[in-house]
Amino acid sequence: MKSRRRSRSLTWLVTCSLVLSLLGGILLDDRAQASGNRGNGNGNVNVGHVDKLTPSLRAKLTRSNSSQGNDDVKVILQLNDKPSVQLKALLRSNGIKIKGQFANLDAFALQMPQSVADSLAAFPEVEFLSYDDDVRTLAGHVSETTGADNVRSMFPGLALDGTGIGIAIVDSGIYPDHISFLASGTNRSRIVKSVDFTGEGRTDDPYGHGTFVASAAAGNGAVSHGKYIGIAPNANILNLRVLNSQGLGTVSSVLDAVNWLLSNRSLYNVRVVNMSLGMPAVNSYRYDPLCLAVRKLVDSGVVVVAAAGNNGKNSLGQKVYGQIHSPGVDPSVITVGAVDSHGSDTRTDDNIASYSSRGPTRSYYTDENGAKHYDNLIKPDIAAPGNKLVFAESPNNLLCQENPSLATNVSPIDNRAEMKLSGTSVASPLVAGAAALMLQANPSLTPNLVKALLMYTAQQLPNANMLEQGAGELNIDGAVRLARLVRTDLSSSTLLGAPLLGSLTPPIPQSTIGNYTFTWSQGLILGGTYATGTTLITQYQGIYGQGVLLSDGVLLSNGVLLSDGVLLSDGVLLGDTIVTSNGTTMGTGAYFCATGVLLSDGVLLSDGVLLGDGVLLSDGVLLSDGVLLSDAVLQAYSAMIGGDATDAMEIEVDTGTEYTGY
């Protein structure tokens, strides 16, 4: 059209100027509309008006209009033709600042008042308006969907990557030469200590589980441009090997490792321990040796994260309740269930994985009269992505030898290979990495505060009850932001009800991850019940100190839950029912069962009755020795290597170029 215009005579142009201006306007409008109706990839054309503003920008404008706000916004303006005189005039007015011009791309970078957006979009030569988003190097699915990417540069001068924090991986060993464990841009290994407690005299990983878990917590993302980056990619790693070449261990080997940690935690600044392992929880946490051991770790100031277990369904595919493993049954531990993220970065399609073990905890003690007293705690505490994730592979490991489909063939080089696994043991190290980031942001946090902030900021998943998801899905964005606001001068002498935050104004209880904004749960799991209320984050609670449990401030009197007034301040509301969430805040949704059922120490639950929508683990079933226990172990193994039959994490082949951009 332009060439035809140039070929016409000047006289003809002058005499027909009005006609041409009208015709030109029609042609530009048609072209602008056609450019918005692009193909959908199947050879078809999408018909209809296309909003020239991206959905996230449109949503921001809608929110601003409702609050009468008009803050500046940074946008990219894309054109489909040269700007008209009128558009140029607009760009020189209304407070618009041109930050950059990209002539070869027909695009501008603008800073402008939000109120100008619709006026800009009305011009036919404007193709699209979008956010001038921060651009990150290609990040992994896990770091994106958990919110870890959000916090990398959240605070000026502080790169949140776990630097200086020690994470102990109590597992099957770690393959030390994998590139994922190097400090960024160096040849220095971040595995600062390796100790064998199996008696095999080796600390590498012939089984293949520990290497994977360690890289999920703290892998540097060097392979495939950061696609498989861990949560705390510069944290120090302690390799405490308690599972042998077959993936089996003993209680004594774990106790040996915990004992070693209690003596050496300060030397290596171990603030977090991950235990993606467990055993059937028969004994009450009050007497279980693993529980007693990890409780000492927590009381000494170390966050302990444990997998809930992979026995969430039986051989008939029914939901099973009451299969939380030890040490995950201990109330001081952060017990983690598994989320199926369907391989997508958005959290709108996330749900609890079918195999993830559900509460309540069915460990018990027997009194002198032979009566069993069940712990019946609400577990897990939180859930995190755990289905078909991809992290570091140990060469020639047993898991891949027995299940070749676990190998992803990302790289033929041993120290760059990756594999995939599923299970709560995969979800647990993501929470451990999150705890490391929180402690880097605020080293004064106690283990109870770390646990409380993780739960308070979690996302409630719809159609999952508290015995499946605890407080909800891990939200690193919210947890780190809130951790940063907590006062750093808290101590054992801090008074109940004293300000918890350095600011008098609590943060807006929302996070945006993968362009999806959600509300925090704003509640805590407290043993057999839960608590809500903003005072949980605005006022210091006695339960946040060391040497106590989050549930210690809850009393039961004549079937009524009460706060003791010593460990919990006024304004903390205790829930009286366990619900199936509608996806908003904790305590909202459909009735599932009364908290009084759990708090009655097992009398109502001891007969294995149906609990809402599944089968409750009855006395000793699947916990006895013999065939049933073996069957349970096989189910857990099947979940680990298979996961739920949904979309897996996308695989990207490694180019051999080391990624150092986290």
SS (H, E, C) 490-534: CCCCCCCCCECECCCCCCCCEEEECCEEEECCCEEEECCEEEECC
Return phi, psi of residue 388, to 5°: 55, 55
Does residue 256 sit in helix, strand or coil? helix
Class of domain 55-131: alpha beta
Q: Which residue has the tokens 């073990």?
A: 357
CA–CA separation, 608 and 398 (whole Å): 37
Give the pLDDT score at 460: 97
Terminal Cα distance for the chain, rounded: 48
Contact 423, 540 (CB under 8 A): no
* Confidence grade of residue 601 (pLDDT, cut at 50, 70, 90): low
Pairing of strands 364-366, 334-340: unpaired
With contact defined as beta carbons under 8 Å apart, do 522 and 455 qualify? Answer: no
What's the pLDDT score for residue 129? Answer: 81
Cα distance between residue 220 and residue 218, in whole Å: 6
Task: Report the DSSP pairing between strands 320-321 and 615-616.
Answer: parallel
Residue 156 has pLDDT above 80, yes or no: no
| Mean pLDDT score, 293-320 | 91
Q: Mean pLDDT over residues 553-562, rounded?
A: 80
Average the pLDDT over each of 192-201, 433-442, 457-466, 611-620 and give the range with the smallest value.
611-620
Residue 73 is predicted with a pLDDT of: 82
The yes-or-no verdict on residue 473 having pLDDT over 80 is yes
Tens digit of each residue's pLDDT (9 = 90 or more) over 172-227: 999 999 999 999 878 999 999 999 999 999 999 999 999 999 999 999 999 988 89
Q: What residues pair up with 158 in beta bridges, in sequence order?
A: 155
Percentage helix, strand, coil for the chain under 3-state DSSP, each rounded to 5: 30, 20, 50
pLDDT tens across 367-380, in order?
778 777 889 999 99
Beta bridge partners of 530: 525
When the pLDDT of each residue in the chain is averaged and rounded to a whole number, the result is 82
DSSP string for residues in 467-493: HHHTT-B--HHHHHHHHHHB-S---TT
| Cα–Cα distance, 650 to 511 (Å, whole number) | 24
pLDDT digits (tens, 9 = 90+) for 117-155: 889 989 999 987 866 543 222 235 688 889 898 888 788
45 pLDDT more than 60: no
Give percent of the chain with pLDDT exceeding 90: 53
Give backbone dihedrals phi and psi of 198, rounded to 5 degrees, phi first.
Answer: -95, -20
Nearest 10 degrees: Cα torsion 599, 470, 294, 147 = -160
- Region 472-494 average pLDDT: 96
What pLDDT does residue 328 have?
Answer: 95
**Mean pLDDT across the stretch 605-625?**
48
Boundaries of every domain in the chain: 55-131, 141-642
Return the H-helix or E-strand segment holding 6.
helix 2-7
Q: Count other C-beta atoms under 10 Å from residue 126's C-beta.
A: 20
Residue 479's pLDDT band (cuts 50, 70, 90): very high
State the DSSP code for 414: G
Helix (H) or strand (E) holding 251: helix 251-264
pLDDT category of residue 634 using cuts at 50, 70 and 90: low
Looking at domain 141-642, its CATH architecture is 3-Layer(aba) Sandwich (3.40)
- Give the per-residue pLDDT at 626: 28
Burial of 31 (0-12, 13-18, 19+ CB in 10 A): middle
Contacts of 117 (CB under 8 A, 6+ apart): 53, 57, 61, 73, 75, 129
Give yes or no for a cis peptide into 360 (omega within 30° of 0): yes
What does the pLDDT read at residue 625? 30
Q: Under DSSP, is residue 125 helix (H, G, I), strand (E, B) or coil? A: coil
For 504-556, how does the pLDDT look when each residue is reduced to its tens digit (9 = 90+)?
889 999 999 988 999 999 999 999 999 999 999 999 999 999 999 999 999 87
Mean pLDDT of 440-446: 97
- Report the C-alpha gap between 26 and 655 in whole angstroms: 49
SS3 262: helix
Q: Three-state secondary structure along 38-66? A: CECCCCCECCCCCCCECHHHHHHHHHHHH
Scan for tokens 């009755």, then name that residue. 609
pLDDT (average), residues 247-268? 91
Quote the strand ranges of 386-445, DSSP E.
Answer: 389-392, 418-421
SS3 267: coil
Instruction: Please determine, for residue 425, whether its predicted confidence score (pLDDT) is greater than 50.
Output: yes
Band of pLDDT at residue 70, cut at 50, 70 and 90: low
Strand spans (E) along 132-174: 166-171
Whole-number Å distance between alpha carbons of 405 and 411: 15
**Could you give the CA distance from residue 590 to residue 581 in angstroms, rounded to a whole number?**
7
Q: What is the pLDDT of residues 321-340, one digit of tens each?
A: 899 999 999 999 999 999 99
Residue in the block written with tokens 């994470």: 167
Looking at per-residue pLDDT, the higher value among 489 and 657 belongs to: 489
In whole angstroms, what is the distance from residue 587 CA to residue 460 CA? Answer: 10
Share of the chain above pLDDT 70, in %: 79
H or E element, residue 249 = none
- Is residue 595 predicted with pLDDT exceeding 90? no
